[in-house]
Amino acid sequence: MRPSALVAFLFSGFVLFVAVGPRTLGAEDGYELWLRYPLVGDAARLAEYREAITQVVAASDAPTMQAARDELVTGLGGLLGRDTPVAGAVSQDGALVVGTPANSRVVAALPLADALRQAGPEGFVLRAMAIGGRRAIVVAANRDVGVLYGAFDLLRLLQTESPLAGLDVVSAPRLRLRLLDHWDNLDGTVERGYAGASLWEWARLPDSINPRYRDYARANASVGINGVVLTNVNANALILTAAYLVKVAALARVFRPYGIKVYLTARFSAPIEIGGLSTADPLDSGVRGWWAAKVQEIYRVIPDFGGFLVKANSEGQPGPQDYHRTHADGANLLADALAPRGGVVMWRAFVYSSDVPSDRVMQASDEFVPLDGAFRRNVLIQVKNGPLDFQPREPFHPLFGAMPRTPLMMEVQITKEYLGQDTHLAFLAPMWEEVLRADTYARGPGSTVAKQIQGIAGVANVGTDRDWCGSVMNQANWYAFGRLAWDHTLLSAAIADEWIRMTFSNDPRVVRPVTAMLLASREAVVNYMTPQGLAHQMARGSHYGPGPWVTGGRADQTSIYFNRADSAGLGFDRTATGSNAVRQYALPARSRFASRDSVPENLLLWFHHVGWRERLRSGRTLWEALLRHYQAGVDTVRWMRRTWDALAIDALVDPERFHRVQALLRIQEAEARWWRDASVLYWQSFSHLPLPPDYEAPAHPLDWYRQLHCPPDPRKPRCPAIAGAP
Ligand code: GCW
């Protein structure tokens, strides 16, 4: 190193040292996720925990029990700062007894019958109690996987420095299917993935097992996720060939102890592509036989295979309509093949007809409601949270509650295709909470979306990036998804609080401000991207950055189709004078959305075309309200930056993660301004209304934004011209 370079190097180290202060925390790269087990910081709590837990008592060596025990030994080792011995029997005060009545005589003898009944097949009981006169904590369940979930829950209590005195918890998942859907391709790319390549190393499997697979399973189990779809819904039939199935089986073996079942996407034309048949017609007996045999072959190598996820007749995917059959014919074909082995078919309702519909958001309901009752019992219709496509805000999908005879699942996107991808901070729990609690009124008041579903799937946001999610902040969404899938009554604020404690620190100087950031973040994105019910205003293809002017190509994929901006006003009339999409909702949700007097203001332009100068219930004109929303979005991001920066003063977060988040927030602010300026200028070209004198002037004229071409990097479609702004 040249002397001058050395000086510069030392100097930069000095600056860093000064910036983060003398009490520098060890650098962390985010790999550990929320499963970090640092020494408990609060001295009183540490003493309490050390007294409460002095040995782990576990009787069984079954793989899932071993996983639970390993996690406890590792977790307690770090949190308590000492080794906790594993014993076969309670021999002292402070026994942590883990087991089921079937695998532990100690547990079988405890008076837990009622609690275990409530816990059900996957739940668990945590209880502080005396065993043979000794103080003990019990993690009990009916099945081994419940013990594992309970072990993670107990560790969570310690990680969040919660009291153990009087511990008495019974927890059971409210939904049966809690899945991550990977949009991973066999070539290692990930559709709408922003965190590196696919985790699945197909070329190296089945012989080489990346240790990451196990860490991935641990993370999922820690939040109760019990299934993963390994492959993209834009499916490749090759995954169903023998050569790939052995690889899938190897992954399933790693995941099995963690209670995770493996599912695959089934390409509808597989009988032709890999089976050599001339048709994939669901009513053809040869096709039916082919699928039956294929399913048997799968179960031979993966005895607990979960089933298929299918995207059919949508965005170019093959499906039963290619043979003039219905979605029910298609789903039932696979369901019949899977039924003998207990597998399920998750058939997606995200369909696109080849003709451009008058209102795309109506298509799924128009197509599927008439099929209610026509599906086999082991079919679930998988419905996106909203009727369009994972927008920053949509109303709930009208299919929820509209198919009373068909089990439904909800699909949400953890990967933030339309919310700033890996870069922008957008904590999604508030969005999911909003939809899960929305009242469909399908069976009278209180018919929330959560009550209409039997499962939930999240499109995964993980990849080979060291921190799994492209940013530590995105990990919060993986975590929150699992927590809400387990218990949709949890509040976003509570989920944020525990995630921050586990991921960063229990210090209130971190917990309070970062919770506030997380909780404000999604609304900020809505405000600067698509306020007041606007939707699908992103750049074409990449869906990154503003593109309210996008036109050409298939109409129902353009921005102007959705914004309907004209000289009169803005928004899509979905009332009886327009597409009448409101008819798909049950009363009184329908009339609530249909009336300008009752439609929630944050969905106004989703349902109504509103004049630029029209007064809203707030007393402001639409134009004034819009401007305020865009500005509020930018202001919130600025506030998030300041809030985050303040953590540096006392070096409350380790420098590596601190600086990475700081850099991303800087980009987010520049891009929030980009969104605001481009959108406001574009709307102004219709409204011809002025910006108030004190409004922050757009940095460039509209044409500059329209001509901006971001580099065609599908993985990181950031715009240097924007990100480079101060
Ligand atoms: O959100 C859109 C995405 C597509 C995706 C599709 C779907 C897998 O832009 O990339 O394809 O939805 O959900 O099928």
Query: What element of type H or E holds 133?
Result: none
Regarding beta strands 569-570 and 344-348, do their DSSP bridges make them parallel or antiparallel, or are they unpaired?
A: unpaired
Nearest CA to ligand 1 atom 3: 192
Q: Could you tell me the two tokens for 8?
A: 């510069």
CA 306 to ligand 1 center in whole angstroms = 22
Q: Which atom of ligand 1 is least distant from the CA of 233?
A: 8
Could you tell me the distance, in angstroms and rounded to a whole number, from the CA of residue 412 to the centre of ligand 1?
11
Helix 429-437 / helix 508-529 crossing angle, nearest 10 deg: 70
Contact present, 209 and 157 (Cβ < 8 Å)? no
Is the CB of residue 184 below 6 angstroms from any atom belonging to ligand 1?
A: no
Nearest to 645 by CA among 631, 624, 629, 666: 666
Instruction: List pLDDT tens digits, range 84-120.
Output: 999 999 999 999 999 999 999 999 999 999 999 999 9
Choose among 572, 617, 611: nearest CA to 596: 617
| Count of other CB atoms within 10 angstroms of residue 707 | 8
Q: Which residues of 572-582 are buried (b: 16+ CB within 10 A; e: fewer)?
A: bbbbeebbbbb
Residue 140, token pair as written in the block: 């009990």
State yes or no: cis peptide before 173, omega within 30 of 0. no
Inform me whether the pLDDT recorded for 713 exceeds 70.
Answer: no
* Residue 271 backbone phi and psi in degrees, to 5: -55, -30
CB of residue 181 inside a 6 A radius of ligand 1: no
Q: How far is the CA of 510 from the centre of ligand 1 (A)?
A: 36
| Residues of the chain above pLDDT 70, percent | 95
Taking the centre of ligand 1 as the mean of its atom positions, its distance from the CA of residue 446, in whole angstroms, is: 31
Atom of ligand 1 nearest to the CA of 390: 1
Least confident of 391-405, 464-478, 711-725: 711-725
What is the rounded average pLDDT of the residues 549-564? 94
Tell me the best of 350, 383, 388, 394 to mutate to test the pocket of ligand 1, counting ligand atoms within 8 Å of each CB and taking the most.
Answer: 350
State the closest ligand 1 atom to the C-alpha of 314, by its place in the atom list counted from 1.
Answer: 14
CA of 234 to the centre of ligand 1 (A): 8
Residues 408 and 487: their CA atoms lie apart, in Å, by 17
Q: Residues for the chain: how many in total?
A: 726
Q: What is the pLDDT of residue 724?
A: 53
- Give, for ligand 1, the residue of 182, 268, 315, 418 to mutate: max count of ligand atoms closer than 8 Å to Cβ: 315
pLDDT at residue 24 in the model: 52
Using DSSP bridges, classify how beta strands 227-229 and 177-181 pair: parallel, antiparallel or unpaired. Answer: parallel
pLDDT for residue 717 is more than 90? no
> Phi and psi dihedrals of 398, rounded to 5?
-65, -10
Question: Of all protein residues, whose CA lies closest to atom 1 belonging to ligand 1?
Answer: 389
Residue of 182, 184, 185, 234 with the most ligand 1 atoms within 8 Å of its CB, for mutation: 234
**Strand partners of residue 262:** 228
Q: What is the mean pLDDT of the chain?
A: 94
- Is 507 or 15 the better-scoring residue by pLDDT? 507
Report CA(143)–ligand 1 centroid distance (Å). 37
**CA–centroid distance for 8 within its chain:** 43
Which of 20, 161, 159, 31 has the alpha carbon at shortest distance from 653? 20
Compute the radius of gyration of the chain from its Cα atoms.
27
390 Cβ inside 6 Å of ligand 1 = yes
DSSP state of 692: P
| Ligand 1 midpoint to CA 623 (Å) | 32
Token readout for 7 is 């000086």
- Report the C-alpha gap between 233 and 385 in whole angstroms: 17
Answer left, alpha or beta for residue 620, where phi above 0 means left and psi between -120 and 50 means alpha.
beta
State pLDDT tens for residues 48-96: 999 999 999 998 999 999 999 999 999 999 999 999 999 999 999 999 9
Q: What is the pLDDT of residue 112?
A: 98
What is the full DSSP assignment across 175-233? -SEEEEEP-B-TTS-BTT--SSS-S--TTTTTT---HHHHHHHHHHHHTT--EEE-S-S
Q: Tell me how crowded residue 635 is: count the other CB atoms within 10 A of its CB.
A: 18
pLDDT category, 15, cuts 50, 70, 90? very low
Of the candidates 479, 454, 437, 480, which has an alpha carbon nearest to the alpha carbon of residue 382?
454
Residues 308 and 265: beta-carbon distance below 8 Å: yes
**pLDDT in the model for residue 264:** 99
- Residue from 417, 461, 536 to probe ligand 1 pocket by mutation (most atoms less than 8 Å from CB): 417
Q: CB of 361 within 8 A of CB of 573?
A: no
Q: Is the CB of 183 inside a 6 Å radius of any atom of ligand 1?
A: yes
Active-site amino acid positions: 315, 389, 417
411 lines ligand 1 (CB under 6 A): no
Does any ligand 1 atom lie closer than 6 A to the CB of residue 191? yes
Query: Which of 316-325, 357-366, 523-532, 688-697 bottoms out in mean pLDDT, i.e. has the lowest?
Result: 357-366
pTM across the whole model? 0.95
Predicted confidence band of residue 13 (pLDDT cuts 50, 70, 90): very low
- The minimum-distance atom of ligand 1 relative to the CA of 317 is 14
- Whether 192 is in the pocket of ligand 1, judged by its Cβ within 6 Å, is yes
- 77, 83 Cβ separation under 8 angstroms: yes
Among protein residues, the one whose CA lies closest to atom 13 of ligand 1: 350
Region of poorest pLDDT, from 19-23, 429-433, 565-569, 619-623: 19-23
Ligand 1 pocket member 549 (CB < 6 A): no
At what angle are helices 285-301 and 327-338 packed, to 10 degrees? Answer: 40
Tokens of 187: 């070539």
